[in-house]
A and B are shown apart, each in its own frame.
Chain A
Amino acid sequence: MKSRGLTVAILLILLPLTAYSGEDKILYARGRHFVKTHQMDFAYMQFRDIVRQYPQSTFREDALFATGEYFVQNSNFKEATKIFEEFIKEYPTAKTKIFALAYLYKMAKEKNDADLVERIKTDIITIERLGFVFRDSKEYKYHSLFHWQYHVLLQIDKITISCNGDRLAEISY
């Protein structure tokens, strides 16, 4: 009797965890499917659910970035700013941090907030230390969940960040 009770208890604990690990994957897959079928609002809902319900999920970083993109696409800059700020806070070492900063930089420039622009500019410049011996630049690419193509070109005194070929930020120093 005692061992049966213990087994039930272990099962009760493990079952939700199993469900958890699977659910975020399903949401992720659903989200990608909605992106493929150009149902962006439904895709956003899936990614939002991953962000809200699965804080430990491996998909959460991309999903959070994607929710920010969704608000940029819908010109809801206030919400987009909030999400990208949250992204930078939660994933300070992410490779995609520079793109989140680029969005914040662009939005601060549109708001004419010179102080904020300067602060974000410094954050972008100090994101990575560069050393070029035989080459003279370095680049990264990122393909987001909404299939947006990001590109950053790091040079000794200039950083150029673009999305789908459009320039997000160009910082010279």
Chain B
Amino acid sequence: MPKFRINIRFWFVLILGFILTLSFVINVFFLTIKKQIAVEISEPLIHRLIIKNIFYIFPDRFLVQDLRILPKDTSIIDQSIVVPLLALKLSLRELIGKRHLIITTFVLDKMRSSQNSFSKFLSDNAVYLIALLQELPKMDITFLIKEASIDSPPEKLHLSPTTFNLAVFIKKGDFWANGAFYSGIDSSPLQLAIRGNLTSKGLYLNQGTFYKHNMYSNFWGELKGPIFQLNGYAFLNNQTLRYSNLLLDTLLRRPPRPHVTKTLEPSIDIINVDCRGRLGFPRVQIENLNFILNDFPIRIKGTAIFSTPMAFNFTASLDNAPAGPNRIKDFKQLNLNFSGLLTEKTLKGRGGLSVIFKQSKDSSFLLDKIEMNSPKTSFFYDQFKRPTLQLHGGGISILTNEDHHRLSFKTLKASFHSQTEKFKIIKLMATMYKGYLKGRFWYDVSHLPPSVIGSAVFKDVEAHALAELLIYFSKIYGKASGKINFKSHPNFQLYGFILIQNGYLKNFDFFKWIAETFNIPSLTDIRFVQAQTQFWLHPKGRGLTNIKITSKDVGLTGFLNLDKNSLIASKISLLLSRKTLQESPKFRAILTMFEEAVPSLTFDFQLSGPQKAINFLWLQSEFKQHIQNRIPNFVERMIDRKIDAILEGKIPEESESSSQ
């Protein structure tokens, strides 16, 4: 018995001594080569590793203390990923039997990183990481990330960091992963559950489920060589279901009751996701990404190059819902294209947006298309951390059945504010036509697509430069100011007013015609104190109301509306001073019918018909009656016949006017 006791003790001491010695020797060994290990591991990476300590724990574990992953480029500061503790477990069987150092378990504890550094690490080392993943089927691995924390980028510091736990298991080619992401702004975690297989032919994703209290999505697909295919669906509900366990429920032993909280944001249903693409890091090509978003079919194509800076281009189109409550009347398609670069804080490039409207037989909708484009677009967070869109050059084109209207801008800045839950605000500031425009738009996010209302004021805009918006402005000179109000679907409207002070009308068509017909040359150049009008544009027409031109010798008031076929309906009252009328030999004769005390004469006209050949009627008035009383009927008929001949082109207007 004593001999046996001695033996046990002896062996225990011997083994303990061996373990301690082995541990000591290995720990000392790692202490000396930790730098070399860090260099060896980081060799294929764009990043470098710094290891503070490596500890060996008998028999098969290692603890790496304070691991830091930094860019090799030392000029880049504050881009580190810190892992305070990394635990590794070896396969002893592989080590002893085959002399292979195989790590079967990785545990990353409390990893910390910023979003920028983490995404930079992934994008910079994507090729190596993918190659590493392709090696994975050959071994069984457990990969655990505990309480990892990723800080928001500096421009989103108001958001809380994301913390996550993730467990990935790979065994005999099958893999599965479970995880949860916690964000400070949302108390409910985003959870994931993934299952699939890794085979020599490729990677098969059998289930990729992402869910939280108000969201559920599921995807499946495969990656064969560089080609990937992904299908799935996602639902993001505006109803939040929560189970509160009340004391009464506990006492009565009944299950907790669900409480439904409804938010103002609309439900988002994404179905029939069909994505096919090509992975060839750093280039990822989306050959087609089709899905249906709340009944709206969407198609996206594009390419992203994960370099520094990241480059990408894409085209996306959204068709109207074929039927159902989400279908938008008279809407056909929305197209968006963009190509540019994503630097750390700014998205830069060129892009365009177009909205195409449907022209149905029974529709009286006026618009064909609204296009917006800019050769230089950038998207960034401003000094108040607000998403901001800035455009240099470009404009908005409005295409109707017959006309093309355009509003160009030199610069345009739109910043997005989201203080209120239902209405989000866009503040606009644009420089255009040597003046500026300042506005505010509200978009209602409780519906999808959101409806927009807004208003903007403009000041010191060169009036004649607005000719591309409305052709009438081409002959109007002066600084224009005014206000524009806008309302999107379901009742599209654009209306406002414009005021031009101390300007002039040069060869304005209407006055030019009167000037040539009645030989009043001063009407080709009218200096005015003030010219103003209200304007409106909606699906059934457009027009100018309350037109008022005030000048020393000429006055004009009235309205001019155009229907969807661009047919004019207008009434205009023209006031001409005695001095102006004296210029015309014909009016000189008429003036003799009136006393000297009458300083001016007013002509009331009704205009109608197509813009290029306007019909006119001299409306009945006291002044007209006065003239009619003074001239014989046959002269009236003769004048009307001559007007007919002029309009039919049988007598040239100039010779007619000169003959009078």
The chain A residues found within 8 Å of chain B, CB to CB, are 113-115, 118, 121-122, 125-126, 128-136, 138, 156-157, 173
Contacts and interface: CB of A to CB of B under 8 A. Distances in A.
B644 interface: yes
A114 B359 CA distance: 12
Given A134-B618, A134-B636, A129 B565 contact: no
B565 A130 contact: no
B613 A129 contact: yes
B622 interface: no
Interface string B506-521: 0000000000000000
B569 A133 contact: no
B616 A173 contact: no
Contact of B640 (A113, A121, A126, A134): A134
A130 B647 CA distance: 7
Interface stretch (B247-255, B272-280, B603-611): B603-611
A133 B362 contact: no
B621 interface: no
A115 B564 CA distance: 13
A131 B646 contact: yes
13 contacts: A113-B361, A114-B361, A114-B362, A118-B565, A126-B613, A129-B614, A131-B640, A131-B646, A132-B617, A133-B636, A134-B636, A134-B640, A173-B609
Contacts of A115: 361
A138 B646 CA distance: 15
A173 B118 CA distance: 67
Given A129-B648, A132-B643, A173-B608, 10 more contacts: A115-B361, A121-B565, A122-B610, A125-B609, A129-B609, A131-B615, A132-B617, A135-B640, A157-B606, A173-B569
Given A113-B361, A114-B362, A134 B608 contact: no
Contacts of A156: 606, 608, 615-617
B639 A133 contact: yes
B565 A157 contact: no
Nearest to A173: B567
Given A115-B361, A157-B569, A125 B610 contact: yes
Interface in B352-367: 361-362
Contacts of A138: 644
Given A115-B361, A118-B565, A133 B640 contact: yes
A125 B567 contact: yes
A126 B606 CA distance: 17
A127 to B, nearest CB: 10
Contacts of A132: 615-618, 640, 643
Contacts of A134: 618, 628, 636-637, 639-640
Contact of B608 (A121, A136, A157): A157
Nearest to B638: A134
Given A173-B563, A173-B567, A129 B608 contact: no
Contacts of B361: 113-115
Main secondary structure of the interface of A (DSSP, over half): loop
Interface string B588-618: 0000000000000000001011100111111
Contacts of A129: 609, 613-615, 647-648
Interface of B: 361-362, 563, 565, 567, 569, 606, 608-610, 613-618, 620, 628, 636-637, 639-640, 643-644, 646-648
A125 to B, nearest CB: 6
Contacts of A130: 609, 615-617, 647
B608 A131 contact: no
10 closest A-B pairs by CB: A134-B636, A130-B615, A156-B617, A132-B617, A131-B643, A129-B613, A115-B361, A129-B647, A157-B608, A114-B361
Nearest to A157: B608
Contacts of B608: 156-157, 173
Nearest to A137: B617
Nearest to B616: A131
Nearest to B401: A118
A113 to B, nearest CB: 7
A134 B624 CA distance: 8
A20 B506 CA distance: 60
Contacts of A131: 615-617, 640, 643-644, 646-647
A61 B569 CA distance: 35
Contact of A133 (B567, B609, B610, B618): B618
Contacts of B643: 131-133
A151 B175 CA distance: 87
A60 B568 CA distance: 37
Contacts of B614: 129
A156 to B, nearest CB: 4
B369 to A, nearest CB: 19
Contacts of A157: 569, 606, 608
Contacts of B636: 133-135
Contacts of B637: 134-135
A20 to B, nearest CB: 33
A130 B605 CA distance: 13
Among B636, B644, B648, residue most surrounded by chain A Cβ atoms (within 10 Å): B644
A121 to B, nearest CB: 8
A126 B628 contact: no
A130 B608 CA distance: 9
A69 to B, nearest CB: 27
A30 to B, nearest CB: 36
B259 to A, nearest CB: 52
A126 B612 CA distance: 10
A141 B606 CA distance: 25
A2 B569 CA distance: 74
Contacts of A114: 361-362
Contacts of B620: 136
Contacts of B563: 173
Contacts of A125: 567, 609-610
Among B613, B620, B628, B646, residue most surrounded by chain A Cβ atoms (within 10 Å): B613
A125 B569 CA distance: 13
Nearest to B568: A173
A134 B628 CA distance: 8
A56 to B, nearest CB: 26
Nearest to A155: B617
B80 to A, nearest CB: 67
